[in-house]
């Protein structure tokens, strides 16, 4: 992620140019959020449509139950960590707008972390730096979601803090933050493979550099071993150990004037590989310990209800209400059917009964029937009354085969296998892009959201928060033209507006009488077509827009593109042990 710093021109000077510096942008964003919070209080009190999100009332009610000594899960639809209810307690004690102020302040802290990460990982002009912050602070989603009372910014704050710890090579602190982040919202678990690969790769490179082997990748921003001065440090300083090559090609060291001492024995490759996994193991232990400790503490307080609402619900969630997901319409059609005629994995409940009857009851050999019989259970009733209906039941082996296929592949409930394409994309991106973690996280999050069983506008904040970290790389790259990226962005916005039009027709116009937006859609649609089909088709169009955007980003953000500095390069520069002569000079200057 790099961009060449541009020289300061006359047009960038003065008060107008100062507005395009980072901190004025943050201050202006804070004032905008304060105004929106005040406007929310007015709109909720005097206008028919509330500005505040319905979830904010859920958070406040959960905090009220906690303040009274109860469980936050006494409030139905509260499906978050109890930590959120604790953070919302000032809503009860101080003012109902406390949570909005807290979330808006977290927006600004997120901007500070974005600024810090950009300064540490790339070089850019102040104008581009301010533009990257504006992408986060003045985005229509992020500028309104926090002021409406959404808590997603808390997860983003934890994840960006995790990125900062990973940048500086602190696996234990990173693991603890990751455990808290997954406990708070379960979706950050998708970043686990990319983090593990990043830590292992960085550890391997540092080991190769320390041993003087060519496997330690060098960059222009990192001092090479062969470029280090070979003079002996001052007395009392740390010994300098410099890798050299003997005439015979064997590694030797220069140890404070003693030349020709044999270097340490070469470690077997498998031992070096195992050693490079230690940071990943430390990260995993810290993350698992933090997650389990928090889970055990809240399980002790609130029992199995905590596990069900905070974790299990999100893994088995099936929402029949309209949303952006391509699985929305199949879920809508099957909702409420499972208890009556459809069993687990979409298998009709009478199929097992028909399999048993097909083995016990005699079948008339002279009747010719369809290979799969009927789905209405006609043979079951005929077999119960021992009456020949003229339609033969399918052979028991065919019934068993169909039952096994439907148990393994839920063709009647495709959302049950939604995790498979998600897992495939997440692992592929982790393997290809793990050296640049912000890029990997952006692509993983966007793909995960686009293929999820339930998609709401709040989920867009998850990947929009990572987009500013890749903006310098997008500006520097030349693989994808600016026109193509602009067209993809426009396609994404238009597809979303198209879906919102159908959703408005479904929510606000159906059954209310009188002309409206629904009449326009009805004229354009086929007679008798359900508006739910229109919502679903618009969701498929939105999936196509997301796919196009991710495909362009995959091309534009390729690792090592045009020599760009990656997150790995910046982390190696910060984590590389200081050479002995540098330590000696710093000690001498200090004294």
Residue 210 token pair? 């320390």
* Three-state SS at 251: strand
Q: Is 331 found in the same domain as 286?
A: no
pLDDT score, position 23: 75
Cβ neighbours of residue 473 closer than 8 Å, sequence gap 6 or more: 1, 2, 3, 122, 436, 439, 556, 557, 561, 564
Listed as ranges, residues in the chain with pLDDT below 70 are: 1-21, 211-270, 272, 318-320, 335-416, 508-530, 560-564, 577-591
Q: Pick from 553, 569, 564: which is nearest to 476 by CA?
A: 564
Q: Is 302 found in the same domain as 418?
A: no
Spell out a b/e string for 108-139, using b for 16 or more CB atoms within 10 Å of the CB, else e.
Answer: bebbebbbebbeebbbbbbebbbbbbbbbbeb
Measured CA to CA, the distance from residue 174 to residue 288 in angstroms comes to 12
CA 2 to chain centre: 23
Strand order across the beta sheet in which 241-245 lies:
241-245, 251-255, 258-262
Assess if residue 470 is contained within a domain: yes
* Torsion sign, CA atoms 445, 447, 448, 449: positive
3-state secondary structure 259-326: EEEECCCCCCHHHHHHHHCHHHHHHHHHHHHHHHHHHHHHHHHHCHHHHHHHHHHHHHCCCCCCCCCC
Q: Which domain holds residue 497?
A: 322-335+400-573
Helices 152-167 and 171-184, packing angle to 10 deg:
170
Phi-psi category of residue 540: left, alpha or beta, with phi > 0 → left and psi -120 to 50 → alpha = alpha
DSSP letter, residue 79: -
Q: What is the CA radius of gyration of the chain?
A: 30
Check if the beta carbon of residue 533 is closer than 8 Å to that of residue 506: no
Q: Is 430 found in the same domain as 327?
A: yes
Check if the beta carbon of residue 398 is closer than 8 Å to that of residue 315: no
Assess if residue 179 is contained within a domain: yes
Q: Is 542 found in the same domain as 488?
A: yes
Cβ neighbours of residue 89 closer than 8 Å, sequence gap 6 or more: 63, 66, 67
pLDDT score, position 187: 92
* Three-state SS at 411: coil
Assess if residue 390 is contained within a domain: no
Q: Is 330 found in the same domain as 310?
A: no
Q: Is 469 found in the same domain as 562?
A: yes
Q: Is 326 found in the same domain as 283?
A: no
pLDDT score, position 207: 82
Check if the beta carbon of residue 180 is closer than 8 Å to that of residue 488: no
DSSP letter, residue 328: H
CA 580 to chain centre: 41
Q: Is 328 found in the same domain as 312?
A: no
Render pLDDT for 525-575 as a digit per residue (tens, 0 to 9): 444 456 778 888 888 999 999 999 999 999 998 876 545 678 888 888 888
Q: Is 295 found in the same domain as 330?
A: no
**Predicted structure pTM score:** 0.75
Assess if residue 453 is contained within a domain: yes
Assess if residue 54 is contained within a domain: no
Measured CA to CA, the distance from residue 349 to residue 361 in angstroms comes to 19
E strand or H helix at 345? none
Residue 132 token pair? 């990257």
Q: Is 515 found in the same domain as 469?
A: yes
Measured CA to CA, the distance from residue 151 to residue 317 in angstroms comes to 19
Residue 30 token pair? 């804070």
Cβ neighbours of residue 237 closer than 8 Å, sequence gap 6 or more: 580, 583, 584, 587, 588
Check if the beta carbon of residue 112 is closer than 8 Å to that of residue 82: no
Q: Is 522 found in the same domain as 494?
A: yes
Spell out a b/e string for 186-199, using b for 16 or more CB atoms within 10 Å of the CB, else e.
Answer: bbbebbbbbbbbbb
Measured CA to CA, the distance from residue 414 to residue 405 in angstroms comes to 13
E strand or H helix at 309? none
Assess if residue 48 is contained within a domain: no
How many helices and strands in the chain, by DSSP H and E? 28, 3
Residue 225 token pair? 């071993």
Q: Is 408 found in the same domain as 301?
A: no
Q: Pick from 460, 571, 405, 527: which is nearest to 150 by CA?
A: 460
Q: Where among 257, 284, 316 does a domain terminate?
A: 316
What total of structural domains would you count in the chain? 2
Assess if residue 537 is contained within a domain: yes
Measured CA to CA, the distance from residue 167 to residue 572 in angstroms comes to 8
Assess if residue 539 is contained within a domain: yes
Instruction: Compute φ and ψ for 149, nearest 5 degrees.
Output: 105, 25
Say which residue the tokens 């070089």 belong to.
123
Measured CA to CA, the distance from residue 86 to residue 63 in angstroms comes to 6
């Amino acid at each position: 992620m790099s961009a060449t710093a541009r020289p300061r021109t006359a047009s960038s000077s003065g008060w107008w140019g100062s507005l395009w510096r980072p901190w004025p942008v943050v201050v202006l964003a804070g004032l905008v959020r304060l105004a929106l919070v005040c406007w929310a209080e007015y709109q909720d009190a005097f206008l028919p449509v509330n500005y505040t999100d319905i979830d904010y009332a859920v958070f406040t009610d959960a905090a009220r139950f906690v303040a009274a000594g109860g469980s936050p899960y006494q409030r139905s639809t509260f499906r978050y960590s109890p930590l959120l209810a604790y953070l919302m307690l000032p809503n009860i004690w101080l003012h109902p707008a406390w949570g909005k102020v807290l979330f808006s302040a977290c927006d600004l802290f997120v901007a500070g972390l974005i600024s810090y990460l950009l300064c540490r990982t790339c070089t850019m002009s102040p104008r581009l730096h301010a533009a990257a912050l504006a992408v986060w602070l003045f985005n229509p989603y992020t500028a309104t979601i926090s002021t409406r009372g959404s808590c997603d910014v808390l997860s983003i704050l934890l994840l960006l803090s995790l990125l900062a710890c990973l940048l500086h090579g602190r696996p234990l602190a990173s693991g603890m933050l990751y455990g808290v982040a997954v406990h708070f919202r379960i979706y950050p678990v998708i970043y686990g493979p990319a983090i593990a690969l990043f830590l292992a790769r960085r550890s391997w490179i540092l080991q190769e550099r320390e041993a003087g082997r060519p496997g330690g990748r060098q960059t222009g921003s990192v001092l090479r071993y062969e470029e280090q001065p070979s003079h002996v440090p001052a007395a009392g300083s740390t010994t300098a150990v410099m890798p050299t090559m003997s005439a015979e090609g064997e590694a030797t060291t220069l140890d404070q004037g003693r030349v020709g001492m044999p270097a340490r024995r070469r470690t077997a490759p498998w031992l070096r590989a195992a050693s490079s996994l230690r940071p990943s193991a430390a990260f995993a232990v810290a993350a698992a310990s933090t997650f389990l400790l928090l889970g055990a503490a809240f399980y002790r307080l609130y029992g199995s209800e905590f596990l069900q609402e905070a974790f299990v619900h999100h893994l088995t969630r099936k929402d029949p209400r309209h949303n952006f997901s391509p699985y929305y319409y199949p879920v809508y059609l099957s909702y409420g059917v499972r208890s009556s005629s459809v069993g687990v994995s979409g298998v009709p409940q009478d199929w097992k009964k028909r399999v048993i009857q097909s083995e016990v009851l005699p079948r008339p050999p002279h009747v010719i029937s369809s290979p799969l019989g009927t789905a209405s259970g006609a043979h079951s009733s005929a077999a119960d009354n021992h009456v020949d209906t003229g339609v033969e039941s399918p052979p028991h082996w065919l019934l068993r085969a169909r039952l096994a296929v439907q148990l393994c592949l839920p063709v009647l409930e495709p959302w049950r296998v939604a995790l498979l394409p998600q897992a495939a994309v997440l692992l592929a991106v982790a393997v290809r892009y793990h050296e640049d973690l912000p890029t990997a996280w952006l692509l993983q999050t966007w793909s995960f959201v686009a293929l999820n069983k339930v998609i709401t506008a709040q989920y867009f904040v998850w990947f929009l928060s990572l987009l500013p970290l890749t903006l310098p790389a997008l500006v520097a790259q030349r693989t994808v033209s600016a026109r193509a990226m602009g067209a993809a962005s426009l396609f994404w916005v238009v597809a979303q507006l198209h879906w919102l039009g159908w959703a408005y027709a479904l929510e606000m116009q159906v059954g209310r009488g009188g002309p409206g937006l629904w009449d326009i859609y009805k004229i354009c649609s086929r007679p008798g077509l359900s508006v739910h089909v229109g919502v679903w088709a618009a969701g498929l169009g939105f999936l196509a827009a997301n796919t196009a955007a991710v495909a362009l980003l995959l091309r534009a953000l390729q690792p090592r593109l045009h020599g760009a500095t990656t997150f790995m390069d910046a982390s190696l520069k910060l984590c590389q042990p200081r050479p002995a002569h540098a330590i000696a000079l710093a000690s001498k200057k200090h004294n």
